[in-house]
């Protein structure tokens, strides 16, 4: 259903508000450079600090700009089941193609609680749902048995796996089947994740290198290993250094350097430190990225 380079969009800010002009330009640039799908209002888009009105406006704006040219997987997760249903329902009404729903953070639900959370969203809103499993941020880790149960529901279509456990794609495929869409949420694991049976990446890196990331995934699909490996190696420092401090501060700094948008972030995230900036500058140079 979804594949390739899928950008977890940053949300450009200016003077404390959403910079709509920069957002529109970012979306158009992503499509122009070959990105396969977009995720507005994920955690890279600073969804925890967006108001509900901003969140819904961004999803709708993304749909309006894209105009069906590529799929949109709207971030709609929450640690409140009711809120997740509300945001998912809005994403469907706005015209998004699917919802990306994170495992509830802070609450630390049991596996049974995780199942019931996702089942409730599934039963209330009829649209494809991608599970976002990121124990490093949400504390809970959805186990394979729970994911297998959820995959039996017709609209639970895949997972964004940010566990960095590269044994999981094989185990998940064996338990659920090839039709379950497995996407990595870790830029640094793309090559290994694809080799283990994944079909794409929901990427932070592709905010600033959409063409390179799309070409890398296309090369994998075309069995062009020489191109794939060359791009993988060029982008590898960025795939690490964009996470040298709390995301999305480093990638927003990179976006400013490359002329994409301002580097403004919302507290409690702070702008990238001088040390982080030096790392990102070096990685941008290594990757050969040029300002727009």
Residue 266 pLDDT class (50, 70, 90 cuts): very high
| Cα angle: 248, vertex 250, 251; to 5 degrees | 65
> The tokens 């700009």 sit on which residue?
65
**Adjacency order of strands within the sheet including 98-102:** 37-39, 4-8, 200-203, 181-184, 156-161, 129-133, 98-102, 73-75
Q: What is the mean pLDDT of residues 72-78?
A: 98
The pLDDT of 81-93, averaged and rounded, is: 98
Whether 60 is catalytic? no
Does the structure show a pLDDT above 90 at 77?
yes
Q: Is the peptide bond before 213 cis (omega within 30 degrees of 0)?
A: no
Q: Residue 292: what pLDDT?
A: 83
Rounded CA separation 240/162 (Å): 14
Q: Taking a C-beta distance cutoff of 8 angstroms, is the pair 65, 33 a contact?
A: no
Residue of 160, 252, 256, 279 with catalytic role? 160
Please confirm, yes or no, whether 132 is among the known catalytic residues.
yes
The share of the chain scoring above pLDDT 90, in percent, equals 99
Q: Which residue has the tokens 């430190």?
A: 273
- pLDDT, position 190: 98
pLDDT digits (tens, 9 = 90+) for 206-221: 999 999 999 999 999 9
pLDDT of residue 2 exceeding 90: yes
Per-residue pLDDT band at 1 (split at 50, 70, 90): confident
Looking at the whole model, is its pTM more than 0.95? yes
Strand partners, 100: 75, 130
The pLDDT value recorded for residue 28 is 98
- The DSSP bridge partners found for residue 101 are 131
Catalytic annotation, pick one of 105, 132, 215, 253: 132
Give the start-to-end residue ranges of the domains of the chain.
Answer: 4-242
Q: What is the band of 44 on the pLDDT scale with cuts at 50, 70, 90? A: very high
- The pLDDT value recorded for residue 194 is 98
pLDDT given at position 60: 98
Model confidence at 148: pLDDT above 90: yes
Mean pLDDT for the chain overall: 98
pLDDT at 47 exceeding the cut of 90: yes
Q: What is the mean pLDDT of residues 34-44?
A: 98
pLDDT at 196: 97
15 vs 19: CA distance, rounded Å? 9
**Do 199 and 2 form a contact (C-beta atoms < 8 A)?**
yes
Tell me the mean pLDDT in the region 222-231.
Answer: 98
For the stretch 58-69, pLDDT in tens is: 999 999 999 999
CATH class of this structure's domain 4-242: alpha beta
């Amino acid at each position: 259903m979804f594949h390739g380079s899928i950008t977890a969009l940053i949300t450009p800010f200016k003077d404390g508000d959403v910079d709509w002009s920069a957002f529109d330009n970012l979306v158009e640039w992503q499509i122009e450079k070959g990105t396969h799908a977009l995720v507005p209002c994920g955690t890279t888009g600073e969804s925890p600090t967006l108001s509900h009105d901003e969140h819904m406006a961004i999803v709708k704006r993304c749909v309006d700009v894209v105009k069906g040219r590529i799929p949109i997987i709207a971030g709609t997760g929450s640690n409140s089941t009711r809120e997740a249903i509300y945001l998912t329902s809005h994403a469907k009404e706005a015209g998004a193609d699917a919802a990306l729903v994170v495992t509830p953070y802070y609450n630390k639900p049991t596996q049974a609680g995780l199942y019931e959370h996702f089942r409730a969203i599934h039963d209330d809103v009829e649209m494809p749902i991608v599970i976002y499993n990121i124990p490093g941020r949400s504390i809970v880790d959805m186990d394979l048995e729970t994911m297998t149960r959820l995959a039996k529901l017709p609209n639970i279509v895949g997972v964004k796996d940010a566990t960095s456990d590269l044994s999981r794609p094989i185990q998940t495929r064996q338990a659920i089947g090839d039709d379950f869409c497995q996407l990595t949420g870790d830029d640094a694991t793309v090559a290994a994740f694809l080799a283990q049976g994944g079909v794409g990446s929901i990427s932070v890196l592709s905010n600033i290198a959409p063409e390179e990331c799309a070409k890398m995934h296309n090369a994998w699909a075309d069995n062009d290993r020489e191109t794939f490996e060359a791009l993988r190696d060029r982008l590898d420092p960025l795939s690490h250094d964009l996470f040298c401090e709390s995301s999305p501060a480093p990638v927003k700094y990179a976006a400013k350097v490359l002329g994409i948008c301002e580097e403004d972030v919302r507290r409690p995230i702070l702008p990238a430190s001088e040390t982080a900036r030096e790392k990102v500058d070096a990685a941008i140079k290594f990757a050969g990225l040029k300002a727009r």
